[in-house]
Amino acid sequence: MSELKVSNNINSANNYGNPNPGYNPNPGYNPNPGYNPNPGYNPNPGYNPNPGYNPNPGFSANPGYNPNPGYNPNPGYNPNPGYNPNPGYNANPGYNPNPGYNPNPGYNPGYGSRSMPGTPDPGYAAPAYSAPNTTTNVNVNVNYAPPVGQLRTDRGLLKYILLSMITCGIYGLICFGNMTDDLNTIASRYDNKRTMNFYLLIFLVAPFTLGIGAIVWQHKMCARMGNELQRRGINYSFGAGTFWGWGVLGALILVGPFVFMHKFFTAMNKLCADFNVRG
């Protein structure tokens, strides 16, 4: 009896790892999720937990299969109204829905009478093309109206010297003053300039500039007279170069200033004469 008891204790000691064989403290616990000891085994053949479920929508095992041939759920439906796959195609050649209709009554393309539609008149010839005339001849007659007041044209070197001597130089001042006003009358409306009054130059500007103002004034007046001669088409050589050549450098040969004064009066007389005619 004691031996049997000792044997049971030994067996109990050998089974110490599981004191309660068959006992599972975590029912449903799977230490290896996804492990299938029997791949391909289906305990419930034919069972479908989700009837009607299709994991691959649009998949057809039999492409082209139609269980209802000829069936049209929308009879008469046209997704592209007015669409013509063959533009220009005429199923009924020669068909005219409006016989005798003419969109342009009385229109004649220029073929005259013809026996058959589409056959031009053999004697028809297209009119010859002529380039348009783009040239225009315009004749303009310019009538110059002479001014009401006439300018003096009788200035001369000899007259200037004699009268200046008789009047103690007063005539010379008046003569140059009048020529300054005449030049402004002739040229100011074209060049928008005005020459300084001669009396202002002589009695104010020239004394304060030690004569330099008089030289500048003479240069500008001669240049302006030369430009007006060219603008009016008067064939006479005169300008600022005349003043520096004959009036300044010509003084070395004594007669140079007299030549300059003669040319100065001649140029002014020509300008005044042209102004008296054409304005």
Q: Residue 38's Cα: distance from chain center in Å?
A: 85
| DSSP type of residue 246 | I
CA dihedral 38, 41, 47, 52 (to 10 degrees): 80
Q: Residue 169's Cα: distance from chain center in Å?
A: 66
Residue 269 within any structural domain of the chain? yes
How far apart CA 91 and CA 93 sit, in angstroms, is: 6
Residue 9 within any structural domain of the chain? no
Residue 273 within any structural domain of the chain? yes
Domain that holds residue 214: 157-278
Residue 54 within any structural domain of the chain? no
Per-residue confidence (pLDDT) for residue 30, from 0 to 100: 61
Give the burial class of 238: count Cβ atoms within 10 A of its Cβ; 0-12 exposed, 13-18 middle, 19 or more buried: buried
Residue 252: count of CB within 10 angstroms of its CB:
7
Residue 77 within any structural domain of the chain? no
Per-residue confidence (pLDDT) for residue 238, from 0 to 100: 95
Tokens of 186: 């002739």
Residue 1 within any structural domain of the chain? no
Per-residue confidence (pLDDT) for residue 242, from 0 to 100: 94
* Residues of the chain scoring pLDDT < 70: 1-148
Number of domains in the chain: 1
Per-residue confidence (pLDDT) for residue 279, from 0 to 100: 82
How far apart CA 220 and CA 91 sit, in angstroms, is: 94
Tokens of 107: 């229109």
Residue type, 240: A
Residue 258 within any structural domain of the chain? yes
Rg (CA), the chain: 63
Residue 42 within any structural domain of the chain? no
Between helices 256-278 and 157-166, what is the axis angle to 10°? 110
Look up the pTM and report it. Answer: 0.49
Q: What is the DSSP string of 169-202?
A: THHHHHHHHHHHHHHHHHHHHHH---PPPHHHII
Q: What letters, b where the CB count within 10 A reaches 16 and e where it falls short, cover 51-74?
A: eeeeeeeeeeeeeeeeeeeeeeee
